[in-house]
Chain A
């Protein structure tokens, strides 16, 4: 009985979200669906980057690189298993299972990439780390471009279009719940301690290097999840989708929402995505606008929209947290 209750608690958010998402899928028209999917993917990216940049106080500029690792791994899995039909399931369900497996593989590969990048570079202070992650993002991109097996510069095409409102919605809920529960746990507080004062954190028994690497791995894994979803949303991927510009977009969302605020990242990701959708004819000015946004936010309100607070507690200085 207790076991059952704890299982229910673990998956409660997903169980609540599922019928809502099924309803949303039924009522959303094709245009709204596309916007929603874009918003969802960006929310996953922004919240997962928040784990490194907001909670742990490190500064990664290579998020799109991890995204690409997840995207290519998931794409390779679905392409490789395109003809596999699980005997005991109807076709659609069988495809969904394969897709879920592909996403999991993408997350695992991205997590591994996060570990490989994290181990050497997390000995570095913030500004060095930023440049190293930027370099790694570019290396991942150039490796893919030079790998015929991964389609080179042209990329991979004709991937099954498996990504839908329900899949993205569940992934968003999983990401937000992951970040939220992390923030309110002793493990999450260890990350915050590193952000606040690394020397003091270390002196209080926090294995700072170990936790930084873990934050990196977690963040990379969820970037990989977003990558897998994107690949099966458009049906094709190429290295150009995951360049420096993509990484910067995610950084802008996190900085604008407030480093450390989950709801801030969600609001900024959703707001920027919708704004870009509405201002399509001004695409050429997008990056210039991002650049100005970064500078103006830092000069006028360096804590971002919400700082480290959450949306529903604007009057309080900061949540104090309780064992929820």
Chain B
């Protein structure tokens, strides 16, 4: 990844997902380079989460190809794709609710563990060293997300915003090349959202991870990402730098009638009227 820094870490070519007759995603192309921060936007039901599920292996794509760091991952089970370096968060938070914040993150550090069950039973030095390493790594990720003081609390007892951050800490702990965040700011107020986006940018800068963010709030995602992809009814309708995308008439049309226009997050540019 040194000389070919421009080589994509995540590449989707012509990816489609069908459920019976329903086409949830069609002909989806995406190339994500190391350290890039890309926003994936679109109205409800546009296929954003479906795209995430196709990338992370929850659904096997019915058409096209998904490559992670050059290797084809179509049809692999999610844990294998995770091991290749793709981590995600969930739109409707899916933490391990009855486990502590620390345990949530430690589970995500699990993939590299080599000691196995017998190591655990015999408490071998190798196993103990590994446990210590996992513990330290988990604590450091909690610190990055500002959750160090919460490590012993149960995930379900954390306030909502912290649960969202814990999900990001957990995803980061898998050591991803690509971090997929599914509406990480959902349900937060304006100030919290801005702080979160700053945090995401900071994570990208610190770990060099490519980040793909699904976000409903267009204004927010425009402020933080370098590139935007707009989906509507499973089809990519626009792609490019935020400034260009926001003036794209097809994007405006897709959002017409949606709440966004009323909120004037996406006032049509002067001259279009």
Contact = CB atoms under 8 A, between A and B. Distances in A.
A196 interface: yes
Interface stretch (B125-133, B202-210, B233-241): B125-133
A207 B80 CA distance: 8
A50 interface: no
A186 interface: yes
Given A202-B79, A205-B79, A318-B100, A197 B110 contact: no
B117 interface: yes
A200 B117 contact: no
A295 B150 CA distance: 37
A159 interface: no
B51 to A, nearest CB: 15
A204 B171 CA distance: 7
A80 interface: no
Contacts of A209: 77
A192 B104 CA distance: 10
Contacts of B174: 204-205
Contact of B95 (A188, A200, A208): A200
Contacts of A317: 154, 157
B255 interface: no
Interface stretch (A2-10, A31-39, A71-79, A286-294): A2-10
B27 interface: no
Nearest to B117: A187
B224 interface: no
A323 B135 contact: yes
B contact residues, range: 35 or more
Interface of A is mostly: helix
A181 B102 CA distance: 18
A32 B98 CA distance: 40
A119 interface: no
Contacts of B96: 192-193, 196-197, 200-201
A186 B109 contact: yes
A187 B121 CA distance: 10
B218 interface: no
Given A2-B125, A6-B125, A197 B95 contact: yes
B127 A204 contact: no
A171 to B, nearest CB: 14
A187 B120 contact: yes
Interface in B153-171: 154, 157, 170-171
Contacts of B119: 185
B77 A202 contact: yes
B130 A186 contact: yes
B116 interface: yes
Interface string A158-189: 00000000000000000001100110011111
A130 interface: no
A206 interface: yes
B123 interface: yes
B121 A182 contact: yes
Contact of B79 (A182, A185, A188, A207): A207
3 nearest A-B pairs in the assembled complex, by CB-CB distance: A185-B120, A196-B96, A205-B111
Interface of A: 2, 6, 9-10, 177-178, 181-182, 185-190, 192-193, 196-197, 199-209, 214, 218, 308, 317-318, 320-323
Given A193-B107, A200-B90, 12 more contacts: A10-B122, A181-B121, A182-B121, A186-B107, A186-B131, A204-B111, A205-B82, A205-B108, A206-B111, A208-B79, A320-B103, A320-B151
